[in-house]
Amino acid sequence: MKEGEKALFSWSVQGDAVNYDTHGDAQGRSISYEKGRDVPSDEGELVAAFTGNHGWFWRNRGEADVTVMLKTGGEYSDIQRMK
């Protein structure tokens, strides 16, 4: 995303809740927009603080498998799943 661009999002977890970090990084810069623990869903608008990669990191700390469903729209060039 480029600086100032916006992406609308909603995500939800099937099976349990997760910890998450909404963040961005590029060329030695990084930002954590929001973090949460044991959260079943979230929605809102992400506004890029600088040009670079912006997105989410989810961690399942529970015993059961979970599925995270992400819906997005807005000003971004691509979406990638990182492992």
Give me the residue spans of the domains in the chain: 6-74
- Cβ-Cβ contacts under 8 Å for 39 (sequence gap 6 or more): 13, 17, 18, 19, 20
Q: Report the C-alpha gap between 41 and 56 in whole angstroms.
A: 12
Task: Give the pLDDT score at 81.
Answer: 82
CA angle 31, 34, 40 (to 5 degrees): 145
Judged against a pLDDT cut of 90, whether residue 80 lies above it is answered with: no
pTM for the model stands at: 0.89
- Cβ-Cβ contacts under 8 Å for 78 (sequence gap 6 or more): none
Pairing state between β 6-14 and 41-47: antiparallel
Q: Name the residue with tokens 């977890």.
A: 13
Task: Give the pLDDT score at 44.
Answer: 97
